[in-house]
Structure 1
Amino acid sequence: MKKGILLLIVATLLWAGNYICGRFLGPALPATLLNTVRWAISTIILFGLLILNKKKIPVFVRWKEFSILGFLGVFAFSTLNYLGLKSINASQAGMISAGIPITILAFTPLFLKEKIKAKAWIGAAISIIGVILLVKGKSSTSSEGSIVGEIEILLSCVAWGMYTVLGKKYGKNIDPLTLTAGAALYGTLFSAISCIGTVQPSMIHMTKNAWICIFYVSTLASVVAYFAWNAGVKIVGAGRAAPFINLLPVWTVVLGVLLLQEQLSGVTFVGGIITIFGAILASMK
């Protein structure tokens, strides 16, 4: 159980970095092209790992599972995030992601037929309270984001909730590495198709920092984070994993302070502590 919790924490920390990079990459690449490049590189790395581990790659045998997870977790979730980050800042996007546990808990009984214990709901509720404090603590320094950007991030929460629950279901017969690689392949194909007729060369403005961010989101925020999340969910279960997504706003605030020199108020600090407490409570036996 402790290993699973650690994997979930690592995954959320790496994804928080993805929000920071998403802001840097917004002016450099269209969201659909950015997602295609990111996951094309990630897919090559993942399939290389499969070959090194001498694992079979059931690209066509498991096409249904891979295509569903690829559409939800790779194409929809990531593209919607990058679209939203064009109009709202990283901290706002990370805080909105606190809605993900609710979608996971809602979809778990529907797809997995699992009963969610009251303690998991309580833990999720406590985490939400912590996130509300986080938002309040950041409200004085955060600019008002567009409604469209907020809706895009909210829709990404729904996509990730379904991805997590279905990943748990399909993970019973497929190991995490193969599951992530297959989803990455099909998700990249969906992203590439979405670029047709929507991306022009004049939209591309790459810089040195943009290339560094591309490297980060293609490796740590994709391969390592997705593998850690899938493995963690498999160990602790989808319901118990749900509140850990609420660590995202905590990490985004921390990274904002360290990398963007944002101010950390007392209210924000208390909110982070409460958010972490809620995640731990939901994961305890």
Structure 2
Amino acid sequence: MKGRGLGLLLATVSIVSWSTNYLVGRYMASGGVDPLALSVARFALATPAAFALARFPRYRGGLAHLAALGLLGVAGFNIFLYSSLVYISAAAASLFVVLASPATQLLQAMLHREAPGRGALLGSALAILATLSWSLYTVLVRRVYNFYTPAEAMAWISLLGTLAMSPLAAYADYHALLTHTHAALVVYIALIPGAVAYTAWNTAVKLADPQSAASLLPLMPVITTALSAVLLHEGLSPLQTVGMALAIAGVYMALRVK
């Protein structure tokens, strides 16, 4: 398989894994789990796994870039994402990749003269912040490949992102994470949508390019919406079905152009 093809396959693996993260995050947020506690616990576990995947790489410089990537792609993105899931559904939160959630709130207000609730507005604002963090991360991550392989970069990014969250860690409420179900789910999102998917995404960005990898992101709402309907019993409307089909068609066309 050629480099770009492998990169797109790895990006798809990451997106499928992250789709399950939205479901787990929504389930735990609705169960009273503190978003900050979830973010800290997830990457406290994901960081050792990322170092193991990278065979415990030595530090080779690039601290400023690694720290910025950790702040954007680990600390900022996850705190904003899990916070948004307190207020909006997994399917709605996954739409951050195309910024559809805030647009939906605006159109709802304009066409139906319904003012969106404060929770919906706050969830959308947090989704926008998550979008900006992840977009910057995807664009900037290639800069550290002069020093590290994608797996090595992810290990150091995860460590520095976890350290960026550490000043806030003392203010998080970890009690809801202590149930057997929640603890098992934290381990899952730390290892699969965490260490494995982040490492796969970094590799995808290197093998393909940021634009090609990002062109697959509209598949995330499709996968998340379908899984939400089956696992969380969140309704699937005919209009959503049409939107899912259009998203798939758009991704196909975007890849054909490239």
Calculate the TM-score normalised by the size of structure 2.
0.85
Cα RMSD between the aligned structures?
Answer: 2.4
Q: Is the 8 A contact 2:96 2:130 kept in 1?
A: no
Equivalent residue for 2:20, pick from 2, 8, 17? 17
Answer yes or no: is the 8 Å Cα contact 1:28–1:206 preserved in 2: no
Tell me the alpha carbon deviations over residues 231-262 of structure 1, each in whole angstroms, 9 at most, x when there is no partner: 11112211222221111110111111221234
Structure 1 CA distance for aligned equivalents of residues 245 and 147 of structure 2: 37
Superposed displacement of residue 170, structure 1 = 2.2
- Give the letter for the 2:38 counterpart: L
Corresponding residue SS for 1:255: helix
Question: What per-residue deviation string (whole Å, max 9, x for no partner) do you get for residues 139-196 of structure 1?
Answer: xxxx965211110111010000000000123234421101111110001111121223
Which contiguous aligned blocks of 4+ residues in structure 1 show a shift greater than 6 angstroms?
none
**Cα distance, 1:200 vs. partner?**
4.6
Q: Distance in 1 between matches of 2:168 and 2:126?
A: 16
1:93 aligned to 2:93?
Answer: yes
How far apart are the structure 2 equivalents of 1:49 and 1:4?
A: 18
Query: Which letter does structure 1 place at the counterpart of 2:86?
Result: K
Cα distance in 2 between the residues matched to 1:274 and 1:168 = 30
What is the distance in 1 between the residues matched to 2:191 and 2:206?
21
In structure 2, the gaps of 5 or more residues are 109-115
Q: Distance in 1 between matches of 2:235 and 2:187?
A: 28
Using the TM superposition, give the Cα deviation of residue 205 of structure 1 relative to its aligned residue in structure 2, in angstroms: 5.3
- 1:20 and 1:98 map into 2 onto residues whose CA distance is 18
Q: Please point out which of 206, 211, 235 is paired with 1:239.
A: 211
Structure 2 Cα separation of the partners of residues 280 and 170 of structure 1: 30
**Counterpart position of 2:167:** 193
Identity %: 28
Which whole-Å CA distance do the structure 2 matches of 1:213 and 1:273 have between them?
30
- Corresponding residue for 2:190? 218
The aligned counterpart of 2:8 is: 5
Letter in 1 for 2:254: A
Aligned partner of 1:275 among 243, 247, 250: 247
Kept in 2, the 8 Å contact 1:72–1:162? The answer is: yes
**Structure 1 gap ranges (5+):** 100-127, 137-142
Partner of 2:43: 39
Identify if the C-alpha distance between structure 1 residues 238 and 29 changes in structure 2 by more than 3 Å, giving closer, same or farther.
Answer: same
Deviation for aligned residue 1:264 = 3.2
CA distance in 2: counterparts of 1:243 and 1:278, whole angstroms: 9
Task: Render the CA deviation track for 1:29-49: whole Å, top value 9, x for unaligned.
Answer: 322221111001111111123
